[in-house]
Amino acid sequence: MPVDLTAADDAILDLLAEGRCTVGYLADETTYSRQHIHNRLNVLLAADYVQKFHDPTGLYELRDDPR
């Protein structure tokens, strides 16, 4: 399912392109709150652009960069 990417998505995808990241790391490295990052990751997960690599720590990795 195609997703209209936001500026937050671009920031998330940029960081994930460099390697796996946690929600906390993504929030620390961007101007977005942990909740906003979490919400956008759920959208990116549903679109199959990212995958959760390690559930207990919330570690995510890039599956397919849609840009």
- Where residue 33 sits, what CATH number does that domain have? 1.10.10
The whole domain housing 18 covers 7-62
Residue 51 to residues 31, 54: CA-CA distances in angstroms?
22, 9
Local confidence pLDDT in tens for the 67 residues of the chain:
678 999 999 999 999 999 999 999 999 999 999 999 999 999 999 999 999 999 999 999 999 999 9
Domain-located, residue 18? yes
Cα(28)–Cα(63) distance, rounded to whole angstroms?
A: 22
